[in-house]
Amino acid sequence: MSLVSLSSQTPLLDAIQEPSDLRGLSDTDLLGLAGELRSETIDVVSQTGGHLGSSLGVIELTVAIHAVFDTPRDKLIWDVGHQCYPHKLLTGRREAMRTLRKKGGASGFTRRAESAHDPFGAAHSSTSISAGLGFAVARDLGADIGDVICVIGDGALSAGMAFEAINNAGALGRRIFVILNDNAMSISPPTGALSTHLDRLAAPVRAGSGDAAPAGVTSLFEQMGFAYHGPVDGHDLTGLLDTLRHLRQTADGPVLLHAITRKGAGYVHAERAADKLHGVSPFDVATGTQAKARAVGPSFTKVFATALVAEAEQDPRIVAITAAMAGGTGIDIFARSFPDRTFDVGIAEQHAVTFAAGLAAGGLRPFCAIYSTFLQRAYDQIVHDVALQGLPVRFAIDRAGLVGADGPTHAGSFDIGYLANLPGFTVMAASDEAELVHMVATAAAHDAGPIAFRYPRGEGSGIDMPVRGTVLPIGRGRVIETGSTVALLSFGTRLGQCLAARQALEAQGISVTVADARFAKPLDKALIEDLVSRHKLLVTLEEGATGGFGALVLHHLAARGMLDGRCGLRTMTLPDSFISHASPDEMYAAARLNAEHIERLVLGALAHSRRRHALPLPYDGTNGTVNGSRTIAAE
């Protein structure tokens, strides 16, 4: 028996298998369905964890859109996608949502491979209007596509890409519906002049005095070629249904519907929370209390923030920049001590990087704190505005490596390669929380050019912490344990797994050196050459894609002529694939980067070397033959 059939509290929702089922319901039934959908969303997330507040804020919008439009022929695109849980519950994935964000379960974001009702995957913001305009043009050129509906939050509009799309869509004049889900709350509180403009437009609805913009306030969207409607109450389902039906019948170009919503709407514990319960662990529905495992050590994010505050107390030139992720990056902690030296620029990573470059050029010491996966969106600015000019911007790269339930869209897989190939860049990775403190101090003191340090999501190992960081010698690693046969050279937090693998290998009589590279650029060339010279096998490890630290080590050794049979060499990186969401441990197991995989690789490499050392080959008349056959030298 299915999970759906067991439900007795949601008779209307039980009857919905596809969005087309909504179109046979009366408006009164749709009101009842919205209530059931809200309860189901709360119940699901209470068991799985995930993005709660944003999903509760779009319950009525989700029901109205699916009741009025003909999805999936009509294309519904959710910007970011973290508010798509109600959408998934209505599009044939109700049972799958009980496995939300678990290995093999439903994604926490829209995903094309998961359903025809997810026409465009998203987990980063501000992409919906660009993608939607692409669908609209494809339709007008003959594709079997109906209407296009893009739901974008007010925070997502702070990114330049959204403005670029609005500019293009307004000029092209194609029929497209953009629904602005304005809840005055991104992950962090909204900032910027656009937020102020939206507040003025939304004032009557938020005050409960009507649904029209105040007299004399002309919307930015009208000036850019959109037919502007609203603001409307995004929780008035009857009003939404009437408005959407009217717009669908009459629209002849780009339309923007401004809907005022409340993040966390309908769940008292979310509405009272400062972050509106944006992202939660499993929780008790009655009390809102979240179940959280006891931490072994402090989170890397908090360690970074605390260390940055300590440095800023000694240096008034230190400032901090975040792109709408103050809480996620720990910059909110810095802001409490130094509000005048903290800058949240909104969801605008490109601007954040060039803004930081300007600050550096002006003589300050900016720390630009951005997730690895979000920093990708500012790569041209990193190259052109920072690296080319040699400006000492400090990049604090959170969420390095695999991140767990958010999956591949949030995995910090590529920053080692895309930063370490830039001239003049210094690139570090913390192996533990104490090392992170030292790297914050190192970055603060480094004025010779851009410098980056990466660290993972989650908690540290609970080791003793320094009161304040010590500046590290640039380009110098460290040896943790000394052996003679195998050298494990780790860049980042796989160091703990290397130590565990060493213990297993030593028990089998294999002597192992473990070293912490600390730097991918500049490399500790002396350390690397010493390890190669003194061991039969060198293995590099990193929480990043191919083309990163291991590639730099191989390139250096090749240039020095040290790949010519002196020592066996192996690199361990993330695989050449995107790893689906699961727990971090499960993801690293899938990536084959845990201690057992290190042990297995070492044993296999040593066995391979022994075989090659005495491998008989047919006599071919060349030198080096012994009794009619020859041998190949050890690697």
Query: In sequence order, what DSSP letters do the residues of 161-209 get, joined into one string?
Result: HHHHHHHHHHHH---EEEEEEE-S-SSSPP-SHHHHHHHHHHHHHHTTS
Q: Clarify whether 377 is annotated catalytic.
A: yes
CATH superfamily of 3-270: Thiamin diphosphate (ThDP)-binding fold, Pyr/PP domains (3.40.50.970)
* Token pair for 503: 């213990």
Contacts of 556-560 with CB under 8 Å at 24 or more apart are 556/523, 556/525, 556/528, 557/528, 557/529, 557/532, 560/529
Domain boundaries, the chain: 3-270, 300-454, 478-613
Q: What value does the mean pLDDT take over residues 54-81?
A: 96
Q: What value does the mean pLDDT take over residues 545-554?
A: 96
pLDDT at 230: 87
82 is in an annotated binding site: yes
All residues at 6 or more sequence positions from 621 whose CB lies less than 8 Å from its CB, including other chains: none
pLDDT band at 622 (very low <50, low <70, confident <90, very high): very low
Alpha-carbon separation of residue 252 from 71, 177, 217, 305, 522 (angstroms): 20, 10, 24, 50, 58
Q: ∠ CA 251-254-256 to the nearest 5 degrees?
A: 90
* Active-site residue (options: 311, 349, 459, 542): 349
Q: What value does the mean pLDDT take over residues 290-317?
A: 93
Q: What value does the mean pLDDT take over residues 64-78?
A: 97
Report the alpha-carbon distance of residue 229 to residue 211 in Å, rounded.
10
Residue 317, pLDDT above cutoff 70: yes
588 is in an annotated binding site: no
155 is in an annotated binding site: yes
pLDDT at 209: 55
* Token pair for 482: 């000394």
pTM beyond 0.75: yes
List, for residues 423-437, the tens digit of each pLDDT value.
999 999 999 999 999
List, for residues 3-26, the tens digit of each pLDDT value.
444 446 999 999 999 999 999 999
Which residue's entry shows tokens 């929370």?
273
258 is in an annotated binding site: no
123 is in an annotated binding site: yes
Do the domains 300-454 and 478-613 sit in the same CATH topology, yes or no? Answer: yes
- Dihedral over Cα of 227, 228, 233, 235: its sign: positive
Helix 549-559 and helix 525-534: axis angle, to 10°?
70
349 is in an annotated binding site: yes
Which residue's entry shows tokens 């994935």?
93
478-613 is a CATH 3.40.50.920 domain: yes
- Which of 79, 77, 75 is closest to 145 using CA atoms? 75
Q: How high does pLDDT run on average in the chain?
A: 91
379, 418 Cβ separation under 8 angstroms: yes
* Token pair for 402: 């695999």
* Active-site residue (options: 38, 93, 174, 263): 263
64, 237 Cβ separation under 8 angstroms: yes
List, for residues 237-281, the tens digit of each pLDDT value.
999 999 999 999 999 999 999 999 999 999 999 998 888 888 888
Sheet holding 519-521, edge to edge: 342-344, 318-322, 365-371, 394-398, 451-454, 426-429, 519-521
* Token pair for 328: 């996620």
How far separated are the first and last CA of the chain, in Å rounded? 59
- Which of 137, 129, 132 is closest to 159 using CA atoms? 129
pLDDT at 217: 55
Compare 627 and 395 and report the one with higher pLDDT. Answer: 395
Q: ∠ CA 135-24-56 to the nearest 5 degrees?
A: 65
CATH superfamily of 300-454: Thiamin diphosphate (ThDP)-binding fold, Pyr/PP domains (3.40.50.970)
List, for residues 18-51, the tens digit of each pLDDT value.
999 999 999 999 999 999 999 999 999 999 999 9
Q: What value does the mean pLDDT take over residues 400-407?
A: 90
94, 105 Cβ separation under 8 angstroms: no
List, for residues 165-218, the tens digit of each pLDDT value.
999 999 999 999 999 999 876 666 667 777 788 778 777 777 775 555 555 559
List the helix and strand counts (H, then E) for the chain: 25, 22
Residue 362, pLDDT above cutoff 60: yes
Alpha-carbon separation of residue 164 from 25, 35, 256 (angstroms): 39, 37, 15
* Active-site residue (options: 377, 394, 457, 502): 377
- Report the percent of the chain where pLDDT is more than 70: 92
All residues at 6 or more sequence positions from 259 whose CB lies less than 8 Å from its CB, including other chains: 61, 179, 180, 181, 182, 230, 231, 232, 233, 234, 240
Report the alpha-carbon distance of residue 353 to residue 343 in Å, rounded.
12
* Token pair for 204: 């009557």
- By three-state DSSP, how is residue 608 classified? helix
Report the alpha-carbon distance of residue 243 to residue 237 in Å, rounded.
10
